[in-house]
Amino acid sequence: MKLWQKTSSNKKEVEKFTIGRDPEFDMLLAPFDVLGSMAHAIMLEKIGLLTKEELSILQKGLKEIYKEIEAGTFSIGQGVEDVHSQVEFLLTERYGDVGKKLHSGRSRNDQVLVDLKLYYREAIREVVTKKEHLFNQLMVLAEKHQDDLMPGYTHTQLAMPSSFGLWFSAMAESLCEDLLLWHSAFELVNQNPLGSAAGYGSSFPLDRTLTTQLLGFENLHYNVINAQNSRGKTEKFLSFAMAASAGTLNRLSSDIIQFMNQHFGFVSFPDELTTGSSIMPHKKNPDVFELMRAKSNQLQAAPQEVLLQLSNLTTGYHRDLQLLKETIFPGLQTLMDCLDMASFMLDYIVVNKGLLEDPFYDYLFSVEEVNRLVLKGMPFRDAYKKVGMDIEKGTFSPRHNVSHTHEGSVGNLCLTHIHEKMSSARKRFDFKSMESKLGELMGQP
C-alpha cells in the first residue's frame, strides 16, 4: 500500500516497471530527506500546524533515523514505495499520529526536489574538493619539471619544444576553468524549492524563507512553477559541468597513454600500476588510463542523454524526470572515482628527462632558429626561407636551448597566477555557510 493510495493497489508488473532503480538511489537521498523534513517541521510549528511538543517529538524521531542512516542500519521496507514513505512510516510507527502531520504543506514532488538539491550540493562539494587536490598535484609536478623539455605537437606531428611543466600546468589550469561550470550548477542547486508542493503552492501560510535559511540555501526558487521546472534544468547544468571535467580527464589520460608508448617513452609508471599480457611478457599496459579515457567519454555523453530526456516536456512534473537520476547519480560517482584515480596514479609518474637532446628532435627547434635570426635583424620571411632550405639540404644544426619569456610560455609558466585563478574560483563556493547551517539544524531541539 502506498501513502497516496486509497483502496486499490498497482499490478506488480506496473510497480516493477515504474519503480526502476529508485530504491537504490533513494538510499543515497535518505539523509537529505531527513534534513529537509527537520526544516519543514520547524516551519510547520512556526505557522501553527504543529505544537512545540509535537515538533520536539518529530525532531527526536528524525534525528534517530538520521543516526540509523549514518550507521547503515536504515533500509526501505518491503512494499514501501520510497524513502519519503519509509521515514513517515517509521515516525508514525514509533510516535503515533504526529508522524502523519509532517507531510502537511508539501508534496512528494517538492520533497524529492529538496532531497536532490541537498544531495547535489554535497556532491558538488566533494567534486570540487577532489578537483582541488588533483590541481595541487599537477601544480607541484609543473614546478618540479618546469625545465624538463618535451616535444610539443600540432596535427599529432612534431611541432615545437614544450616542457613537462607546461603540460602539467595546462591540465591544472583546465581543471580550475572547469569550475566555472560547476559554480553555475552550484548556484542553481543552491536554491530552495521546498514549499512549491506539487508545483502550484499551498493554501497553508508556509514560510519558505525560513526553510531556505534553515537548510543553508543561498536563495529561494520564488515562483512555485519555476521551482518544479528546475528539476531537469538542474541536471542539465550538472551534466555540462560533469562533461567539462571529463573532457580535461580525457585529455590527461589520452596524453599519458601516448606518452607511455615505447615509441615516445616520455613517462613511465611502476610495474604494479600497469597490467601485463597473457602471452607477451614485455607488456606494460596503461589499463587505468584507458578505462579513465572510456569513462570520461561516457561522462561527456551525459548532456546529450539529459537533453534528450527533457525533450518535449511541458510545465509541471512528469515521471520521465525520474530517469535523470540514472544519468546523474552514477555519473557523479564515476567522475569522483576518476579524479581519485588520476591523483593516485600521478603520485607515481616518472618523467624521462633530457628527451630533446636526441638529434631525432632537432627539427623541433626550427622556429627557435627562425626567431633567433629575426632578432638579429633578418626579415621573418627571409629567416623562415633560410631555415627551411637548411632543413631540405640536411644542413640544419640548431641550438638546443629555448628562451621564451612571455606569460604562459615554457620559460614563464605563471604558476602563481594559475594558483590565484584556482583560489578565486574556489572561493565562489560557499560550502562553509552551507555546512554551518546544516550543523545548526541538527543541533536544534
**Active site members:** 155, 277
Residues contacting residue 255 through CB under 8 Å, at least 6 positions apart: 167
DSSP code, position 77: P
Burial 212-248 (b: 16+ CB within 10 A, else e): bbbbbbeebbeebeebbbbbbebbbbbbbbbbbbbbb
Residues contacting residue 1 through CB under 8 Å, at least 6 positions apart: 9, 79
**Rounded CA gap, 164 and 151, in Å?**
9
Going by C-alpha positions, the residue among 238, 403, 378 that lies closest to residue 307 is 238
Q: Can you read off the three cell numbers belonging to residue 303?
A: 548532456
DSSP code, position 316: S
Q: Can you read off the three cell numbers belonging to residue 179?
A: 569550475
Phi, psi of 342 (to 5 degrees): -60, -45
Estimate to the nearest angstrom the gap between the alpha carbon of 100 and the chain centroid: 37
3-state secondary structure 342-406: HHHHHCCCEECCCHHHCHHHHHHHHHHHHHHHHHCCCCHHHHHHHHHHHHHHCCCCCCCCCCCCC
In 3-state terms the chain splits into helix, strand, coil percentages (rounded to 5) of 65, 5, 30
**Rounded CA gap, 192 and 114, in Å?**
7
